[in-house]
Structure 1
Amino acid sequence: MSMQTSLSYLDLSHNNIPSMDPDVRQTLDNLAAKHTVTLRLRGNPLTCTCQSLDMVRWLATTVVRLDGDNHNLAYDDDYDDNGRDYPCALEDGGMGSTGSVMAQWEAHWRRCVGLAFLTVSAVALLVQVLGLLLTYLLWSKWTYVRHAWRVLRHLRLPRRHDFQNDAVFVYADDDLELAMKLKQAVGNARPGLRLSLLMDEIMPGSYLPEGIARSVERSWKVVLLVTQTFLQDDWSGFSVLQAQGSISDTLPDRVLVLMVGPLQPWAAREPSHLSMRTLLRMIPESCVYHVPGAVTSRHNIWVTLGDRIASDPV
């Protein structure tokens, strides 16, 4: 609001004004410090709520001359300056006056500040609870969150052709020949698949755990060749853990398990056995295949396995 420096009389009566902007009040005070300024406010529906307490105090303390018209009000004994007393609507919807509110200023101020403090405290508590809940969800569902973020970022689920390999066969060192036969059998049943053996992914002289992790990360499906030899291999537990880490709610069938030949009962305290049992609980039952005897191309399982590797999420 722009005011001339020579302004000495301002009539705002009957203008349906509930409160006055702080900038306007400050401007009037600045003018009144230089010369006499008179303000008429009668006939306005002023409010005496928590939001307008500062205006009520201003009406009582400003050097601006006020021309109130409140002859029908019963004024508080401690406050009887009729020229500064205006009718106003109270917080509870009743009617009062700026003078009576000012006379009980401390009580009104404590009530309003207490309400504001309660609101701020409630909001702060809610933010803390939501923060703890969000932290728990991120911690407990980190794999899901990571893949969900990937989905949102790319606006689609990961696809087979996003990966370097359609499938990598993970096996024990002593099962290399068996793994080669499996790869050939699946490749013959489903031509065109990009199949890889673990040995193909590990560079000579490289660190074995890094090679295992890299082969899993690059592959659309991870085929674990589980034999009795695999369960006794020193690195089988690590391989199984890497396979577990690749599973998510958006890709629950990323790991395929081939149980080859007869297997001895799971040892309760054997780490590799425990990891394997955990993995089997994580993946769908349809992702577990049993090959009772020798690996031959006559098994229909290779067609089924090849189709599973080639499938994209719906």
Structure 2
Amino acid sequence: VVCTNDEACQYKSAEWQCDPRCICWVQRSVGSLIVDCRGTSLEELPDLPRTTLLSTVLKVGNNSLTSLPTVSEHSGYANVSGLFLSDNNLTSLGSGDQLPDNLTHLDVRDNQIQSLSEEFLLFLQEPNNTMTLSLSGNPITCGCESLSLLFFVRTNPQRVRDIADIVCTKQKKSFQQMEAFELCPSYVLLISCVVGGLVIVICLLTVFYLMFQQELKIWLYNNNLCLWWVSEEELDKDKTYDAFISYSHKDEELISKLLPKLESGPHPFRLCLHDRDWLVGDCIPEQIVRTVDDSKRVIIVLSQHFIDSVWARMEFRIAYQATLQDKRKRIIIILYRELEHMNG
């Protein structure tokens, strides 16, 4: 770097000479090599120096370039930090992968760019990418394809320096002030349909849950699903009794010994006995059904006397039917003495 004054210097190298169509100098205040090739009818980039001493600012506006160059195609292009391509014939910015890694600003004003690709916008949103753009003067298509660009400039307005100057010609409105439904009415309709569909589904699921809440919880519990949400205690919270003891009156000797231990033990249980808790004179079959339904468990004192009792067998059948209906283990059987036969 050879300096003749405090502001401007020349960059000299045995491997590189400034293109005769361009003006090249080093701007000391910013530490950059300026290569100015504006208005020289270029169709491709000039050669640039390969150096790590300075970054390169390349000004190639008002030429005939039709596409962005790639790093591999041009010597020294990887060191470019500022790329000024206004007033050319660019129609696309590609995916962004072809741009130099150190590029901080890309000026593509007054070209023929109608939209930015999804890949390019994703490139701009990469974690370490802070590159800024100048886009005004391009015939941006203000349609559905520009929704991603609108969302990008809304969330990153500082990344597009001249966003206020980008105008939608058809709508005669600044692009920055456009709404999604103005760019793409069908997009808003789609969003409305999706949201409406979700609301309907949520409402139907809510109604279904309210109608079949207990059945759903029982099914989940029996299939060991969502046990954090449903427990056996919750399923039985409305039951009046912990257990209904079904026995023959001829086995009251066992009941008299069993009852105090269950009702007055360390963990007292609420028990129902037909001779103590049933209403006298009420219909026996109805009381059996009601008691089984109001009890978490049915304890069967199975003995020969029980088998020989018509009412005891009815209590067992109703408890068994309730178990099949709920698909839960509700019956506890206590085998009391040897059974002589199973008739009945």
TM superposition score category, shorter chain reference: 0.3 to 0.5
Query: What TM-score do you get using the length of structure 1 for normalisation?
Result: 0.36
Structure having the higher helix fraction is 1
Higher relative contact order (CA 8 A, sep 6+): 1
